[in-house]
Structure 1
Amino acid sequence: MSSADDEYEIAVVGGGPAGLTTALYGARLGHETVLIDRGGGRAAMMADTHNVIGVTEDTSGNEFLATGREQVQSYGGTFERGFVTDVERADDDRFRLTTNDAELVADRVVLATGFSDERPDPPLPRTGKGLHYCLHCDAYMFVDEPVYVMGRGEAAAHVAMIMLNVTDDVAVLTRGAEPTWSDETAAQLEAHPVDIVDEEVSGVENDPDSGWLEAIEFADGTRREYRGGFAMYGSDYNTALAEGLGCELTEGGEIDVDDHGRTSEDGVFAVGDITPGHNQVPVAMGQGAKAGLAIHKEIREYPRSTEEIARDGPVGDDEVPAIPPHLMATAVAHEGHAGGPRTKGVETEDGEVPAADDD
């Protein structure tokens, strides 16, 4: 178990929904946990939070993330604002992380570095107020409204056809580029009421009060009204740290992981948008939870195995509990602790609150 100020059991790189959830589980399960985040990211761009039970849509991405950081810290997790430039496996099989101004050591590393959406060239609508990247997050906003999809590849064509599920006014804006979608996709498009607009975008009109998109102007002098749309130009996965550690990638460029976030390298986990699957906040949170639980089961002190008992003897009274003293103090003082004033639970007939265990 780590003891020095710069030594941790779990180091999480990236403070989006997946990284925050992993760090939250690590701290609450009694492990020395540090979360290192450079700021920004896809979730921080959200003007509103969608599809997250218990979080209302008037919550911005930055507010959502700030609350998450406060939660991690309230349970004794450490938060560091910084950019991790390198992670390497040391001779003792632990990991050394270098940031722009510090060095840390951890037993397990969780990569939650996400990806960056490729942005088309200006002029563009304002991000979050007419320019969007997440179809399943934001399609609901444009039910029965005119919508554009900006791009020239397979993804643009398919997103345009998908949007016909919620509106009858959809256009693909190729911006003068030759489409690269397949002949089969072209035949599909021809059989759907989707407009193909080839002209380059020359200007954008926004509502002067709300800032929301009202219309897009084109190089041929035409003007078309849209309430919003999606840019589909691909993504750049932030896999440099994973590649440096030797983690295997998928054909699509994501980090290849098992169902609990384990990569091909022992001790290295990956969660969130940097892994295959739906790029959704609730999905990322679920991945973070599963990774946090998997790490806990790998590194927790007890139960001691039969081999360990044969080697080291039975667990002594003076060896428990395994939780570090400062995390114990944090837990006992926390409002969610059983001895706290705000504890809530469902009592059994004999007056005891049953403990939960997913093992």
Structure 2
Amino acid sequence: MDTKEFEVIIIGGSYAGLSAAMALGRSLRKTLIIDAGMPCNRQTPHSHNFLTQDGSTPEEIAEIAKTQLTNYDKVHFYQGTAIKGEKLNNGFEITTEKGDVFTAKKLVFAAGIKDLMPDIKGFSDCWGISVVHCPYCHGYEIRNKNTAIIANGDKAYHLTSLVNNLTKKITLLTNGSMNFDQSQLDKLKLRKIQIIENKIAEVEHLNGQLSKVIFKDGNSKNFDCAYASIPFQQNSRIAEQLGCKLTENGHITVDSMQKTTEENIFACGDNSSMMRSVATAVYGGNIAGAMINNELTQEQF
């Protein structure tokens, strides 16, 4: 790449990062997207609940976005992983794993999150295919099916309440001793939702399509699909290195304008939102790009 200096560097080139880049490119802002090419939904066969793209594959949506961004010559792409960030007197310096160094006045973190898979054989092979996280993204397609919910406590209760509108064939798999208060248990019992506390050994599947959950005690139960609530970590730790605060759930703290707790640093997408969807990522990226352009305009006008 001929140039190393930019007005904005975006770390992460999936939906949020691409959306931010479009707003910036259309505002003639010299922008660099650094992307490692490992989106968290890469196994997901179809994306839903995104107007105009309902049912498209995640890759198709991203490729359309990248093609459209080539119309804006101020937007540049770099394939690689950003590994370090430093504050400068008038901006930031970002170093990649290849040793390349870039500078910018503003930063956008849009690198998403990494799901931390449980120690259950076959689980990761089904993740995003027949074991899913979101009823809004996937629930319509697996409605009325024999469904497992692999979760415990408040998260399990909340997820069950949402899924109950999509199917009445629900079994809660807490993968250990259940953690519900009495009012939650009474409501689950009223809805005739079975709770199984046995530890899970394996998710049996064919090419990612769930067929059976096998428990460590040797028992098993057939299912068509499952929802699961699992932990995650930030894909990029650079925001934390630069002082950005995280929420108690592990997301980057942002305000309504996608600004982090550090001056001139923004974040958008799954790394900073509990609403984990393509549509939400695109929205957050568009807001971040517009707000950054506004800041640059006010600083330079």
Q: TM-score, normalised by structure 2?
A: 0.89
- Alpha-carbon separation, structure 1, partners of 2:198 and 2:122: 14
- Alpha-carbon separation, structure 1, partners of 2:66 and 2:271: 20
Aligned twin of 2:271: 274
- Alpha-carbon separation, structure 2, partners of 1:72 and 1:159: 37
- In structure 2, the CA distance between the partners of 1:73 and 1:197, relative to structure 1 (3 Å rule), is same
- Alpha-carbon separation, structure 2, partners of 1:69 and 1:28: 14
Deviations 1:45-77 (A, max 9, x none): 3210111111141x2222322332222233221
Aligned length: 296
**2:112, 2:234 within 8 Å by CA — same for their partners in 1?**
yes
- Residue range with higher mean Cα deviation, 278-287 or 249-258: 249-258
- Residue range with higher mean Cα deviation, 125-134 or 268-277: 125-134
Matches within 5 A, 1:1-359: 5-57=3-55, 59-76=56-73, 77-91=75-89, 93-101=90-98, 102-125=100-123, 126-175=126-175, 177-207=176-206, 212-238=209-235, 240-300=237-297, 304=301
- Alpha-carbon separation, structure 2, partners of 1:45 and 1:79: 23
User: Displacement, 1:230?
Assistant: 1.3
- Alpha-carbon separation, structure 1, partners of 2:161 and 2:298: 53
Q: Secondary structure at the match of 1:292?
A: helix
User: Displacement, 1:27?
Assistant: 1.2
Q: Secondary structure at the match of 1:140?
A: coil
- Alpha-carbon separation, structure 2, partners of 1:53 and 1:235: 27
User: Displacement, 1:303?
Assistant: 8.8
- In structure 2, the CA distance between the partners of 1:87 and 1:202, relative to structure 1 (3 Å rule), is closer
Corresponding letter in the other structure for 2:268: V
- In structure 2, the CA distance between the partners of 1:118 and 1:185, relative to structure 1 (3 Å rule), is farther
- In structure 2, the CA distance between the partners of 1:43 and 1:20, relative to structure 1 (3 Å rule), is farther
- In structure 2, the CA distance between the partners of 1:300 and 1:217, relative to structure 1 (3 Å rule), is same
Aligned twin of 1:357: none
- Alpha-carbon separation, structure 1, partners of 2:273 and 2:129: 28
User: Displacement, 1:203?
Assistant: 4.4
User: Displacement, 1:18?
Assistant: 0.8
Corresponding letter in the other structure for 1:187: D
- Alpha-carbon separation, structure 2, partners of 1:194 and 1:64: 37
Bigger RCO of structures 1 and 2 (CA < 8 A, at least 6 apart): 2
Corresponding letter in the other structure for 1:106: A
- In structure 2, the CA distance between the partners of 1:229 and 1:206, relative to structure 1 (3 Å rule), is same
User: Displacement, 1:97?
Assistant: 0.4
- Alpha-carbon separation, structure 2, partners of 1:179 and 1:170: 16
User: Displacement, 1:130?
Assistant: 1.5
User: Displacement, 1:195?
Assistant: 1.2
Q: Secondary structure at the match of 1:193?
A: coil
Normalized per residue, the structure richer in strand is 2
Q: CA RMSD in A?
A: 2.3
- Alpha-carbon separation, structure 2, partners of 1:181 and 1:260: 36
**2:41, 2:128 within 8 Å by CA — same for their partners in 1?**
no
Q: Secondary structure at the match of 2:7?
A: strand
Structure 1 alignment gaps of length 5 or more: 305-359
Q: Secondary structure at the match of 2:240?
A: helix
Structure 2 alignment gaps of length 5 or more: none
Which has the larger Rg? 1
Q: Secondary structure at the match of 1:206?
A: strand
- Alpha-carbon separation, structure 1, partners of 2:7 and 2:254: 20
Q: TM-score, normalised by structure 1?
A: 0.76
Deviations 1:330-351 (A, max 9, x none): xxxxxxxxxxxxxxxxxxxxxx
- Alpha-carbon separation, structure 2, partners of 1:257 and 1:127: 28
User: Displacement, 1:127?
Assistant: 2.4
- In structure 2, the CA distance between the partners of 1:211 and 1:263, relative to structure 1 (3 Å rule), is closer
User: Displacement, 1:205?
Assistant: 4.1
User: Displacement, 1:290?
Assistant: 0.9
- In structure 2, the CA distance between the partners of 1:85 and 1:239, relative to structure 1 (3 Å rule), is closer
Corresponding letter in the other structure for 1:191: L
Among all aligned residue pairs of Structure 1 and Structure 2, give the percentage whose two residues are the same amino acid.
Answer: 26
- Alpha-carbon separation, structure 1, partners of 2:232 and 2:128: 18
- Alpha-carbon separation, structure 1, partners of 2:162 and 2:286: 31
